[in-house]
């Protein structure tokens, strides 16, 4: 799996994760006009997608103002200011900001790092609250054109619940790829490819990816 080189500040409050690298690299987008990432964090996913795909316009929606500042810096460092725009907003307002069914592809890495305990700190709560997952799916559905693709990262622990949420909102998973840290341990993440309004048949389970391989 090829991961393009990209620049980031030497000191960052929020480092990019394996999930960010995987989402940016595995999302096969090609030549389309408009891609949106919901919960774009420090912007690394959008930078990777921009380097791998000839997308004209990429937009990140992120609720954390500081993360947006870092993302804009990273976008500028990688010479992508003309293609990538970062918006400081709640993903639930995505359709108000961008318009209903105005996007060709949506990617998202929703808050799934949850051990059952809710943090008292508001920022950590946003990161850990698994209940936010449906907000991301609803937002993705509202801005994505019918019949177009979405890509997401989620947790194996939540997979059954998440699939139910996808199907409930007519966001049909078409394939999943399990991600493993190393041999002999359980899967760490699941990469989901899907389509708004897609048919239920023809589902694929792809070969696993090992994080040790990249």
**pLDDT computed for residue 128 by the predictor:** 45
φ, ψ at 36 (rounded to 5°): -125, 135
What's the pLDDT score for residue 125?
43
CATH number for the domain harbouring residue 179:
3.40.50.150
Position 10 in a domain: no
Is 11 contained in some domain? no
Count how many domains the chain has.
1
Helix axes 65-77, 44-52, angle to 10 degrees: 30
Count Cβ neighbours within 10 Å for each residue of 103-127 and write b for 16 or more, e otherwise: bbbbbbbbbbebeeeeeeeeeeeeb
The reported pTM is 0.91
pLDDT of residue 183: 85
Strand partners for 180: 187, 210
How much is the pLDDT for 1?
78
Strands 171-180, 187-196: pairing kind:
antiparallel
Q: Which domain holds residue 207?
A: 18-213
Q: Is residue 6 part of a domain?
A: no
The verdict on residue 8 lying in a domain is: no
Residue 163 is predicted with a pLDDT of 95
Write out residues in the chain with pLDDT < 70, as ranges: 14, 112-131, 213-214
pLDDT of residue 90: 97
């Amino acid at each position: 799996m090829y991961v393009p080189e990209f620049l980031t500040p030497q000191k960052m409050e929020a480092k990019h994760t394996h999930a960010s690298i995987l989402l940016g690299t595995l999302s096969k987008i090609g030549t389309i006009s408009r891609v949106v990432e919901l919960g774009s964090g420090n912007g690394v996913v959008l930078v990777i997608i921009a380097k791998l795909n000839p997308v004209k316009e990429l937009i990140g929606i992120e609720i954390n103002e500081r993360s947006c500042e870092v993302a804009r810096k990273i976008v500028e460092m990688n010479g992508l200011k003309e293609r990538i725009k970062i918006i400081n907003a709640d993903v639930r307002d995505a359709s108000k900001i961008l318009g209903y069914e105005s996007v060709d592809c949506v990617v998202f890495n929703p808050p799934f790092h949850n051990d059952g305990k809710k943090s008292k700190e508001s920022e950590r709560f946003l990161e850990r609250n698994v209940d936010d997952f449906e907000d991301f799916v609803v937002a993705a559905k509202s801005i994505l054109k019918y019949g177009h693709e979405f890509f997401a990262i989620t947790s194996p622990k939540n997979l059954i619940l998440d699939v139910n949420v996808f199907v409930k909102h007519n966001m049909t998973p078409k394939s999943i790829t399990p991600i493993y840290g190393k041999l002999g341990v359980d899967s760490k993440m699941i990469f989901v490819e899907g389509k708004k309004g897609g048919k239920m048949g023809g589902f694929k389970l792809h070969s696993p990816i090992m994080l040790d391989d990249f």
